[in-house]
Amino acid sequence: MRRSILVTIVVAAVVVAVGLAVAWQVIQPGGPPLTEATLAPAAISPNADGLSDVSAIHYALRRPATVSIYFVDSSGNRYYFRKDKPRAAGPFDINFSGVVDAYTLPGDKLPTTNTVLARVLQNGQYTWVIEATDGRGQHNQISGSLTITDADTALPVLDKFTISPPVFTPNQDGIDDHAIINIGLTKDIPPDSLQVFLISADGSQKLPIAEAVTPIQPGQRGLHEFDYDGGINLGLQPPPNGTYTVQAVAQDRVGQQVSVQGQVSIAMGGLPQADIVLGKVTWSSNQVLFGQPLTFTLVVENYGSAPLRTSGPDSGFAYTSTAQIANTIGQYTQSGAWRVGIHCDTCQTDYPWRWALGKTSQLTMIRDANGNPQYYLMPGQKVEVTGSIVLDKIIASRNPQFFWAGLIHEDVKVVNDRVDPLLVTIVPK
């Protein structure tokens, strides 16, 4: 009885094993992984003229496998189109334009800064090979012939590449706010096929940089300019301070690619943001005796992420007449500088009386690239600004008139305009 049970168990096990083997053969059919492969036509002229530029590659796999497609020249050199790519079972179709992975030739005269990423095959006879290796190590390949004629083999060389300044400060302070990248292109390529990117040190961030408008059209042979402000002019926060890679990639009509790269650093970057706290101005009086000063006091806060460059005169400066204005004391408008201004109904220029954001002793001094000292209100810092103007001119038709304060980002915008206006009467003596 026991023996019969044992025999039954053995027979059942054999049946199960045979069944599994049959099922496995159905799931994983026998034979080499690559069942078929073709390339047609067998002759192309990859020059982007629209005639015989492309061959169609077709292949099929019995089961998942790792696939390589390459071309072998008469000297035995191998040029990869695809290398060790995992693919599922089934048919595959792909166009081949004659462009393969990067390779060099003995006669190449490329700038040492250039890196070839993709290149067209040179004119000549080649053997094409498609090979596959499955997960069990089974391997096979199918091959044929290919002729290349009239190929456009001239690479889109980048013979000029500069980044200036090497350290820029995207904060709209008027000093080194932009990085200018100049790139020389030796060959006409399609528009928008010269692309420039800012890449973070860990490679996780890749930001496009726009080409500036110049007489040279996008893609045209010549010197191209790319202007990068970190996004500040669009009201965006710039990338964090640090060192970045700038990469330029040119691709021609055939599909050849050449790249060049360098480094640029961002420092003191940030979106400049400040205001007159609570929009409040403390005025000395709404009636001022002719020849006496109108005094104001307010508080400015830098609530943004960027330091704010400012210029004089210092808080507390007293203008001795209405005719004495910032320009007459040598404190001219400076692009990117922040100042507090006072304006009035009869003023002939915008905010003629201006003051720095605080006193020099309250500010942080940072030297610019030329070694000149510049003064900044730092992020998170608040400062009181006060000053006065001697009112020594009465315009009868405009007495009283309004005076008000403003926070000015010079040559950018008036950030706070017409703040806390006061109707002031100048009282004759």
Rounded to the nearest angstrom, the gap between the alpha carbon of residue 129 and the centroid of all alpha carbons in its chain is: 40
315: which 2 tokens? 């808080």
pLDDT of residue 1: 42
**232 φ, ψ (degrees, to nearest 5):** -60, -45
Question: Does this chain's domain 33-148 share its CATH topology with 274-427?
Answer: yes
Q: Cis ω on the peptide bond leading into residue 400 (within 30° of 0)? A: yes
Helix (H) or strand (E) holding 16: helix 2-27
**How confident is the model at residue 219, as a pLDDT?**
97
| Alpha helices (H) in 113-207, listed in sequence order | none
- Contact (CB, 8 A) for 95 and 82: no
274-427: CATH superfamily: Immunoglobulins (2.60.40.10)
Q: Does domain 33-148 have CATH number 3.40.640.10?
A: no
Per the CB < 8 A criterion, the answer to whether 258 and 113 are in contact is no
| pTM of full prediction above 0.85 | no
The structural domains of the chain, with segments of one domain joined by +, span 33-148, 158-266, 274-427
From first CA to last CA, the distance across the chain in angstroms is 135
Just give the CATH number of 158-266.
2.60.40.10
Structure tokens at 42: 């067998």
Give the span between the Cα atoms of 404 and 417, in whole angstroms. 8
pLDDT recorded at residue 369: 87
Q: What is the pLDDT along the chain (429 residues), one digit of tens a residue?
A: 444 544 344 334 433 343 433 333 344 568 999 999 999 999 999 999 999 999 999 999 999 999 999 999 999 999 999 999 999 999 999 999 999 999 999 989 899 999 999 999 999 999 999 999 999 999 999 999 999 999 999 999 999 999 999 999 999 999 999 999 999 999 999 999 999 999 999 999 999 999 999 999 999 999 999 999 999 999 899 999 999 999 999 999 999 999 999 999 999 999 999 999 999 999 999 999 999 999 999 999 999 999 999 999 999 999 999 999 999 999 999 999 999 999 999 999 999 999 999 999 999 999 998 899 999 999 999 999 999 999 999 999 999 999 999 999 999 999 999 999 999 999 998
What's the full length of the chain, in residues? 429
* 3-class state of residue 23 by DSSP: helix
- 352, 321 in Cβ contact below 8 A? no
